[in-house]
Amino acid sequence: MSENNQLKRELRFAIIGGGMAGILAAIRLRESGHKHVVLYEKADRIGGTWRENTYPGLNCDVPAHSYTYSFEPNPNWSRYLAGGAEIQAYFEGVVQKHKVEEVIRFNQEITRCVFENGVWHLTTASGLQDTADVVIAATGVLHHPNQPNIEGLETFAGAKFHSARWDHSVPLDGQRIGVVGNGSTGVQIISALAGRAGKLTHFQRSPQWIMPVNNFAYTPEQIAAFQADPVLVDKERYNETYLANVRNFTDAIIDVDSPQMAGIEAVVKANLEQSVSDPVLREKLRPNYRAACKRLIFSPDYYQAIQHPNAALVVEGIACVEPEGVRTKDGVLHPLDVLVLATGFKADRFVRPMTVRGRGGVDLDTVWQSRPKAYLAISIPEFPNLFLLNGPTGPVGNFSLIDIAERQWAYIEQLIAQVQSGRCREVSVSAAAMDNYEERRIAAAKKTIFASGCTSWYLDKEGVPASWPWSYDRFAEEMTAPRLEDFDLAG
Ligand code: NAP
């Protein structure tokens, strides 16, 4: 060992969550030579959102080659937009190849994470205790199902489940199926079930703008070419059209009067006009808010699905659920065998309900009382050596969160290096830098399309978009290197 290495501290790392971001952190830490890495996963399998969501029609609306780790290209993606099972298999393959399971403690849900005497003390639901110098919170964003508060829901006599808790023992073919919710999830479920259900009823509270997309299959020849030549896979991943679309999209979000936004609006409006023939149905499907205010839905086939002879769109509000089905406010009972709640997630939770206490016992719940916040989505004052991946106020939208997490990791690594090199023992953003960031972020967020007059999970309880409000390029630039003057380097 060189003298330089001897000076370096052997840090102990705890990663919380075995989804896309936690796996990334484990691989990168081990590649960097860290020996004390433990990943706590509450379930018995990796995969995060791709483990939990198994509903029919599940796919990722980000192109498969772009929704891929940069260091693990996959020549074998079967389609432009991969299905959920294929994505889960990809992550399992990556975990196996990198032997990540060696460091995973399955069925261990962290319930407490408390910083005392310069060290994080972790406790799991089963009572296991551990300590770590550095904690990586990779607990995901859309994680806690939002169970709707609908009167009589518990009285339903048929099968009923949230989209992220799909009960695969329930027969679907020929059944009378109701789906509540038309976010990306509800739309994908309707598309998958239109040809299978005896009667499919889609309960829509607010309409959605829908971006058409051609989800083509890669031909065996294309896949063989990808397998033979990694350069072609890279070309597909860093596809100029896709990157231009991401830039176009993020530029549109932050400049609501831009030609880019006008372009998006024109496409979704034309999609509605051209795809839905019945003028009454078309008007029911037409939102009264601007495109991309809610997360834009990409779908090749929802409009066809909802026009299927067995499908019906119900726009009357839900009055209650009864044993036989759903009763709408116009008094009509919609009899159902299966009721699917595609009602989204509690998007403001992040690491919670875990108890997280920083320096001096400061409680994360208190710090996040008004809204979850973290400097550049990564660091919180007085929570030293705790770093978030895909944390609050990070970029969300119609692009690859793998790319976002990789860029965040490149930044976090440089903060960890401060501790490892011995320059300090504890690093966390300063309160002043946090306040300054958050003030600027909120001001910018209020000008984004997300705040242009709709409801969505992007908005916090005060109606402020909880996301990155600047361009993608600015995010990429910020992630290249931390401004150390914004951090408290202690000890
Ligand atoms: P969501 O976008 O939050 O949509 C929830 C839906 O449920 C909305 O239509 C909402 O109506 C409705 N709803 C909620 N409570 C209701 C109630 N009490 N009565 C009637 N309707 C109710 O959730 P999601 O569709 O699960 O999608 C969440 C996010 O997951 C997406 O935005 C996306 O980021 C991610 N996702 C991604 C993909 C992908 O392909 N990459 C696929 C699925 C999900 P209102 O609009 O009126 O509130």
Read off the pLDDT of each residue in 141-166 and give the average, rounded to a whole number: 97
Ligand 1 atom having least distance to the Cα of 455 = 48
| Whether residue 453 has pLDDT greater than 70 | yes
pLDDT classification of 446: cutoffs 50, 70, 90: very high
Which amino acid is residue 286, in one-letter code?
R
Predicted confidence (pLDDT) per residue in 319-345, tens digit: 999 999 999 999 999 999 999 999 999
Predicted confidence (pLDDT) per residue in 279-292, tens digit: 999 999 999 999 99
Ligand 1 atom having least distance to the Cα of 81 = 40
Least confident of 211-220, 356-365, 397-406: 397-406
Please tell me the distance between residue 92's alpha carbon and the centre of ligand 1 in angstroms: 27
Mutate to test the pocket of ligand 1, among 184, 318, 327, 339 (most ligand atoms within 8 A of CB): 184
How far apart, in whole angstroms, are the C-alpha atoms of residue 180 and residue 186?
Answer: 7
Please tell me the distance between residue 417's alpha carbon and the centre of ligand 1 in angstroms: 39
- Provide the 10 A C-beta neighbour count for residue 8: 15
In angstroms, what CA-CA distances link 307 with 35, 36, 301?
56, 56, 10
How far apart, in whole angstroms, are the C-alpha atoms of residue 321 and residue 380?
Answer: 43
Rounded mean pLDDT of the chain? 96
Q: For ligand 1, which residues put their CB under 6 angstroms from it? A: 59-62, 142, 148, 150, 163, 180-186, 188, 205-206, 295, 318, 342-344, 455, 457
Please tell me the distance between residue 163's alpha carbon and the centre of ligand 1 in angstroms: 10
How far apart, in whole angstroms, are the C-alpha atoms of residue 441 and residue 375?
Answer: 10
Alpha helices, DSSP H only, in 276-376?
279-284, 302-306, 364-367
Ligand 1 atom having least distance to the Cα of 396 = 34
Which amino acid is residue 117, in one-letter code?
N
| Whether residue 397 has pLDDT greater than 80 | no
How far apart, in whole angstroms, are the C-alpha atoms of residue 75 and residue 230?
Answer: 8
Please tell me the distance between residue 295's alpha carbon and the centre of ligand 1 in angstroms: 9
How far apart, in whole angstroms, are the C-alpha atoms of residue 484 and residue 414?
Answer: 10
Taking alpha carbons only, the member of 50, 67, 66, 68 closest to residue 58 is 50
Helix (H) or strand (E) holding 434: helix 431-445
Nearest CA to ligand 1 atom 46: 206
pLDDT classification of 239: cutoffs 50, 70, 90: confident
CB neighbour list of residue 338: distance below 8 Å, 6 or more residues apart: 158, 159, 160, 170, 172, 175, 176, 177, 178
Bridge-based pairing state of the strands 426-429 and 487-490:
antiparallel
DSSP 102: G
Cis-peptide into 353, omega within 30 deg: yes
pLDDT at 240: 84
Mutate to test the pocket of ligand 1, among 180, 320, 458 (most ligand atoms within 8 A of CB): 180
pLDDT at 37: 98
Mutate to test the pocket of ligand 1, among 61, 87, 185, 468 (most ligand atoms within 8 A of CB): 185
- Whether 381 contacts 488, CB under 8 Å: yes
- Whether 190 contacts 181, CB under 8 Å: no
How far apart, in whole angstroms, are the C-alpha atoms of residue 195 and residue 424?
Answer: 61
How far apart, in whole angstroms, are the C-alpha atoms of residue 292 and residue 342?
Answer: 19
How far apart, in whole angstroms, are the C-alpha atoms of residue 289 and residue 282?
Answer: 15
Token pair in block for residue 245: 């679309």
Please tell me the distance between residue 183's alpha carbon and the centre of ligand 1 in angstroms: 3
Token pair in block for residue 172: 């679907």
**CA-based torsion, 447, 399, 87, 63: positive or negative:** positive
pLDDT classification of 97: cutoffs 50, 70, 90: very high
Predicted confidence (pLDDT) per residue in 335-377, tens digit: 999 999 999 999 888 999 999 999 999 999 999 999 999 999 9
Please tell me the distance between residue 184's alpha carbon and the centre of ligand 1 in angstroms: 6
pLDDT at 4: 45
| Whether residue 300 has pLDDT greater than 70 | yes
- Whether 364 contacts 352, CB under 8 Å: yes
